[in-house]
Amino acid sequence: MGCELCGRAVETTTHHLIPKNRTESPTARLCQPCHKQVHATFTHHELKQEYDTVEALRGAERLQSFLAWIRKTDKTHVRVDDSDRVRRWRD
């Protein structure tokens, strides 16, 4: 078992594919960098509306450069600054 997004065999965390509905939400196993990146890139609304499957996330245009990069590294933890876009949407 590894990360369902980048496919690397590293430790993973639980991502709820439908945020805010954690009890019924399907989950995915994502490594910390991918998990961080997903939440920094998309709002909860976008995740729920468009990216509620691992397949959708894997194909997301906004994640492609990150995925291409992370797959070449062995990083298990990264710091990701939330984009202004997401920060504006929050709260």
Rg, Å, the chain Cα set: 12
Residue given tokens 């920094």 in the structure block = 40
State yes or no: residue 36 binds Zn ion (CB under 5 A).
Answer: no
Tell me if 60 contacts Zn ion by CB under 5 A.
Answer: no
Using rule CB under 5 A, residue 31 touches Zn ion = yes
Indicate the residue among 1 and 84 with the shorter CB distance to Zn ion.
1
Can you tell me the distance from the alpha carbon of 43 to that of 85, in angstroms, rounded to the nearest whole number? 9
54 touches 9 (CB < 8 A):
no
- Least CB distance from residue 65 to Zn ion, whole Å? 14
Please identify, among the stretches 1-9, 48-56, 57-65, 73-81, the one whose residues bind Zn ion according to the rule CB under 5 A: 1-9
Q: How far apart are CA 72 and CA 91, in angstroms?
A: 35
Per CB under 5 A, the segment of 21-29, 33-41, 57-65, 74-82 that binds Zn ion is 33-41
Count of residues touching Zn ion (by CB under 5 A): 6
Of the CA atoms within 13 Å of residue 83, those in its CB half-sphere come to 11
Interacting residues toward Zn ion by CB under 5 A: 3, 5-6, 15, 31, 34
